[in-house]
Amino acid sequence: MSDGSESNPLGHVLTKPPRRAFHECDRMHPMTSTPRLDRLTRKPDRGTSNRARLDALLDDQLVATVSSVVDGQPWMVPLLYARDGDRVLIHGSTGAGLLRHFAEGAPACLGVFALDGLVVAESTFESSANYRSAVLRGTFEILTGRAAHDALNILSDKILPGRTSEVRSSTAKEVAATVALALPIEEGSWLYKERTGLPGEPAEEVAPTTWMGVVPFRTVRGPAEPAPWTGPEAPVPDSVRRVIERG
């Protein structure tokens, strides 16, 4: 008689969640009427296939949203990420439901967005925003052993450059409690879109007191704030200084 548990690809015994495991039927069939996801249909002139633009956005931001569909219901989680060459790395607890779903081979979508400003036009309808955005699709690869350990170090150093050389290495127990996943960046699997510049010139005459223009946005890093239990002689480390200087 079953004890209600099962083994998962992470090598752990898990209590069965209140859902079925990912099934191949969950993948979108190429012959359905679902619109193509490898091209922009709304304002395609704002898109580009320039990989350097995609890489620049991924390297500039720290937070992405990853999503999938479980039993017909959408599931999305925001988390930290890092680009490593031709892949995007994420990590989390081995008990994280969505990451376990990805480890089972579920199709994934990863989105990154940067708001660069508000575009103020002659009407709210014509107003907009300046932004950079990317959506990547594919299947995450689960990393194990040394590959997982190395990926976690890469992720840490992308977020806090050089931090792994300032602190102790992760223990085998810590690595075992963490799932590391990599999403390949492949041709045809991503979309990039952006808007820049001023609002369009009004097609009709507007009141001379109507202000129009752009309100730029930027992210600012503040001074480091030590925890109360930090030793009084502990200097602000280089990794933290680099993050502050980046802003």
DSSP-assigned states of every residue in 4-69: SEEE-TTS-EEEPPSSPPP-GGGSPPTTSSPPPSSS--SSGGGB---HHHHHHHHHH--EEEEEEE
Nearest to 109 by CA among 29, 55, 28, 53: 28
Count Cα neighbours of 205 within 13 Å in the Cβ-side half-sphere: 2
Nearest to 161 by CA among 241, 61, 215, 81: 241
DSSP bridge partners of 47: 193
CB 87 within 8 A of CB 186: no
Cα separation, 10 vs 97, whole angstroms: 12
**What's residue 71's pLDDT?**
83
User: Helix, strand, coil: what percent of the chain each, to 5?
Assistant: 20, 30, 45
For residue 45, which phi and psi values (nearest 5 degrees)?
-65, -15
User: Torsion over CA of 243, 244, 246 and 247, rounded to 10 degrees?
Assistant: 130
The DSSP secondary-structure symbol of 166 reads T
Return the CATH number of 5-114+130-191, one of 2.60.40.1120, 2.30.110.10, 1.20.210.10, 3.20.20.60: 2.30.110.10
DSSP bridge partners of 193: 47, 133
**What's residue 33's pLDDT?**
52
CB 47 within 8 A of CB 192: yes
DSSP run (H or E) holding 74: strand 73-80
Low-confidence residues of the chain: pLDDT under 70:
1-37, 40, 47, 247
Cα separation, 148 vs 53, whole angstroms: 28
DSSP bridge partners of 89: 82, 182
Sheet holding 87-93, edge to edge: 82-83, 87-93, 178-184, 141-143
Nearest to 95 by CA among 178, 181, 5, 7: 178
Overall pTM > 0.85: no
